[in-house]
Amino acid sequence: MDWLSTLAGFLVGTIVGVTGVGGGSLMSPLLILLFGVAPATAVGTDLWFAAITKMAGGAVHHRQDNADWQIVKRLCWGSLPAVGLTLWWLWSHGQKAESGGLIVRTLGIALVLSAIATPFRGAIARRFARADGPLADTMLRWQPALTVAAGALLGMLITLTSVGAGALGATLLLMLYPFRLTARRLVGTDIVHAIPVALIGGIGHALIGNINLPLLGSLLLGSIPGVVLGARLTGYLSERVVAPALALVLLIVGVRLLL
């Protein structure tokens, strides 16, 4: 199982390096469907996997000034309390939620939404960028509050399923800030915000007992060279091909978890 989990980490890391998404979206389902890991343990292990790998990526984005810290703060105002509340709920009802299939169903829904969002992020951004008149004024006025609400939604989803950063997070940010965020600052802001959410969520899951440390080590052993390789492949692979392929995989896995 060690070499298989290392291989899984390598494949997921490569996909993350190429597309910037797919880490939590693919790792948790792989652990549940391929390795038979309990859903709560898969989520807890994946949160640590995401926190450690995104710390490295977040440091690079910070040095390159690719993160909008005002937006990160607004997201954290919503996400961090949501993380705490979700962890408290899991501590109180986690066994019942796992046995009743709530975690798996929520994970499946999140994957389907991610699959829908991934290939259409550009179109969504252009649609909101064309907003003018009263609609644009309303969006600008409610932008801070909507960002906090988006953070709360992401914090809950990430803690419960380890999915939410990446495709969903980037799509929400594109809808809220179609002009303010360039492509690089979009990715950097999304990654930097995901670090404290994944870290606090991972600590909470570890305290509950939802973590497999040997498995985590095997995954990281493969993911680190995978991320490096994926980053190098970005210049050779077209996003027009990669994004739909990733969306199809997410859709298939999401439907499989829901059935």
The 10s digit of each residue's pLDDT in 6-27 is 888 888 877 776 666 656 677 8
Predicted confidence (pLDDT) per residue in 169-185, tens digit: 877 888 888 777 776 77
Taking residues 67-80, what's their average pLDDT? 93
pLDDT score of 159 more than 60? yes
| Nearest residue to 221 (alpha-carbon basis) of 1, 26, 8 | 8
| Mean pLDDT on 202-218 | 89
The reply to whether 125 falls in a domain is: yes
Q: Which residue range forms the structural domain that includes residue 203? A: 2-11+22-224+238-258
Cα separation, 27 vs 191, whole angstroms: 17
* pLDDT of 149 strictly over 80: yes
Asked if residue 230 belongs to a domain, the reply is no
Please report the pLDDT score of residue 79 as a whole number. 95
* 30 has pLDDT over 80: yes
- Tokens representing residue 204 in the block: 């909470």
Give the pLDDT score at 75.
95
Q: Is residue 17 part of a domain?
A: no
Please answer whether residues 111 and 181 qualify as being in contact, where contact means their C-beta atoms are separated by less than 8 angstroms.
no
Q: Give the pLDDT band of residue 192 (cuts 50, 70, 90).
A: confident
Domain-located, residue 196: yes
Average model confidence (pLDDT) across the chain: 79
Statement: residue 125 has pLDDT above 70: no
**Contact 18/237 with Cβ under 8 angstroms?**
yes
Q: How many domains, the chain? A: 1
Q: What is the mean pLDDT of residues 192-198?
A: 88
* Three-state SS annotation for 14-48: HHHHHHCCCHHHHHHHHHHHCCCCCHHHHHHHHHH
Confidence of residue 139 (pLDDT cuts 50, 70, 90): low
39 inside domain: yes
pLDDT band at 104; cut points 50, 70, 90: confident
Residue 16 in domain: no
Return d(Cα 112, Cα 106) in angstroms, integer.
10
Residue 229 lies in a domain: no
166 vs 163, higher pLDDT: 163
How far apart, in Å, do the first and last CA atoms of the chain sit? 26
- Burial of residue 239, with CB atoms counted within 10 A of its CB: 0-12 exposed, 13-18 middle, 19 or more buried: middle
Q: Look at residue 143 and tell me if it is in a domain.
A: yes
Using CA atoms, how far apart are residues 191 and 94, in angstroms rounded to an integer? 27
Tokens of 38: 């309990």
Q: What percent of the chain has pLDDT over 70?
A: 76
Least Cα distance to 84 among 165, 166, 169, 155 occurs for 155
Phi-psi region of 237 (alpha: psi -120 to 50; beta: other; left: phi over 0): beta
